Amino acid sequence: MTDLERRQDRSPVPSGWDYAPAPEARDIVALEERYGLYIGGDLVEPRSGQYFPTLDPSREEPLAEVAQAGKEDVDLAVRAARDAFENGWSDISPAERAKYLFRIARILQERSREFAVLESLNGGKPIRESRDVDLPLSAAHFFYYAGWADKLEYAFPNRRPKPIGVAGQIIPWNFPLLMLAWKVAPALAAGNTVVLKPAETTPLSALLFADVLRQAELPPGVVNIITGDGRTGAELVKNEGVDKIAFTGSTEVGKAIQRELAGTGKKLTLELGGKAANIIFDDAALDQAVEGIVNGIYFNQGHVCCAGSRLLVQESIYEPVIEKLKQRLRTLRVGDPLDKNTDVGAINSREQLDKIKELVASGEEEGAEIYQPPCRLPEKGYWFVPTVFTNVAQSYRIAQEEIFGPVLSVLTFRTPDEAVEKANNTPYGLSAGVWTEKGSRILSIAQRLRAGVIWANTYNRFDPTSPFGGYKESGFGREGGLHGLEPYLGFDDSETGGG
């Protein structure tokens, strides 16, 4: 009978449910102590003789040392790319080129867990995202452009497309492997060779990608990977052997590159910063819109050039939206990037963390109201609590400048016209979001927004078939889709002035 009585005891309501740690095993990644530069199909020691450590930002621990490529190293890499371009790569049959790209795509899929873990280790992003977003999309880009390699003449009928030569590509640290795929895949499909410079803080997945190229038996020199800080990038931009520069990164550096290249005849595409408006109309499906707001700004710790960092809410639903948003923020799990249940990982670098802190401080100073959910952050590493600013005026720095962190600025509007006006009132023009049940309103608002990418009732959704790129200070040129091939091709018609 005591047994039965005991069973009748109702356990008290728990105060919470602590998910046990669920870390992805990191031993799938075997790191070298030190990496050279990938030039002409081999990892070679840098002529500069210099190395620097690259960190795990969630622990502030060094993972490996990588080379700081100097002018001489850049020269070597560009020469290797030129050799490969002239002696084989530009002449092999397009179907052969496609074969290599398909191979790379398949190897990326096969090794996706290894890459996902490395991406989270070196970049600080949650494994959930590197596993479910970065890796599948990277492979998808190679598959997609592999398909175009032998169909270029159909892609651009009557224009006789041909490769342009050596492409210098400089990529950022927010999606290291995905940005590599965005750049390398179309360049190779179009028949060019590549010198790629990964970001200073996240070089490791690019160096592991060199091993994928070896596995795929890509001819030496077709892709060269040089690591280093901004100085290496500047050398690559200046190098006379480069025919085209593709840059993704800050607007400030993008402007400097454009000045440097003026008058040189090198082709240029820039994919720069953003301060996207995410516009919520009062007829939107609220719970899903809140999910979209969260995905828009806290995805990848807000280190996303197209992040929905300015929330424009119709005033009539301001209160429920903010209440729901705050509630949702309290359920975000911030912590170990390798834990499969982590929603928000580590800030990529000390430098970026300082920048976020500075802008957040300016927001408080200017009079915006800050909300941060209660949150236990790890002691070591670079962390920032997901943050919402309300009572933000259009003139505040947090409404104007790109923060590139998990910080949302909320503004309100009363009518669709006002929403469009506020959304467009920025030097940037990369992306925007529209949330409404009305299909006609989606179309009419999208037409009036000056942004390269507009999402309706979703956010931060990418696909290799869809072009991506900005207006105004967010850059020019498109990546992805058919449009993404064009910057890597020359056309006979444009040279003769015909067309």
Binding site for another protein (CB under 8 A): 3-4, 6-8, 10-11, 13-22, 128, 132, 282-289, 291-292, 316-317, 320, 323, 331, 340-341, 437, 457-458
Q: Which residue's CB is nearer to another protein, number 32 or number 283?
A: 283
**Kind plus residue range of the DSSP H or E element containing 280:** strand 277-280
CB of 50 to another protein, least distance (A): 41
Q: Which residue's CB is nearer to another protein, number 10 or number 259?
A: 10
**Kind plus residue range of the DSSP H or E element containing 421:** helix 416-424
User: Which of 108, 115, 133, 123 minimizes the C-alpha distance to 184?
Assistant: 108
> Is 41:220 a contact under the CB 8 Å cutoff?
yes
Count CB atoms within 10 A of the CB of residue 450: 16
Q: Which residue's CB is nearer to another protein, number 14 or number 499?
A: 14
CB of 14 to another protein, least distance (A): 6
DSSP string, 464-476: TTS-B--SGGGEE
DSSP 219: P
Q: Quick one: tokens of 30?
A: 């075997």
Q: Which residue's CB is nearer to another protein, number 438 or number 448?
A: 438
CA distance 110 to 459: 28
Count CB atoms within 10 A of the CB of residue 140: 20
Cα distances (Å, whole numbers) of residue 236 to 42, 74, 327: 19, 6, 47
Q: Is 375 a catalytic residue?
A: no
Q: Which amino acid is it at 117?
A: V
CB of 111 to another protein, least distance (A): 21
CB of 281 to another protein, least distance (A): 12
* CA angle (57 as vertex; 51, 58 as ends), nearest 5: 145
Instruction: Tell the burial category of 8 from Cβ atoms under 10 Å away from its Cβ (0-12, 13-18, 19+).
Output: exposed
Question: Per the residue annotation, which of 24, 129, 200, 305 is the catalytic one?
Answer: 305
CB of 442 to another protein, least distance (A): 12
User: Which of 334, 336, 355 minimizes the C-alpha distance to 344?
Assistant: 334
Q: Quick one: tokens of 136?
A: 């599948």
Question: Per the residue annotation, which of 24, 129, 271, 402 is the catalytic one?
Answer: 271
Q: Which residue's CB is nearer to another protein, number 78 or number 289?
A: 289
DSSP 344: B
Count CB atoms within 10 A of the CB of residue 65: 15
CB of 238 to another protein, least distance (A): 45
Q: Quick one: tokens of 102?
A: 């398909």
Q: Which amino acid is it at 137?
A: L
CB of 186 to another protein, least distance (A): 28
Q: Which amino acid is it at 379?
A: E
| Measured distance between the N- and C-terminal CA atoms of the chain, rounded to whole angstroms | 94
Cα distances (Å, whole numbers) of residue 384 to 213, 354, 478: 36, 10, 32
> Is 156:182 a contact under the CB 8 Å cutoff?
no
**Kind plus residue range of the DSSP H or E element containing 301:** none
Tokens 């928000």 locate to 344
Q: In terms of DSSP bridges, do strands 277-280 and 431-435 run parallel, antiparallel, or are they unpaired?
A: parallel
Q: In terms of DSSP bridges, do strands 475-476 and 267-271 run parallel, antiparallel, or are they unpaired?
A: antiparallel
Q: Which residue's CB is nearer to another protein, number 17 or number 154?
A: 17
Q: Is 33 a catalytic residue?
A: no
Q: Which residue's CB is nearer to another protein, number 1 or number 262?
A: 1
Give the residue numbers marked as catalytic.
Answer: 271, 305
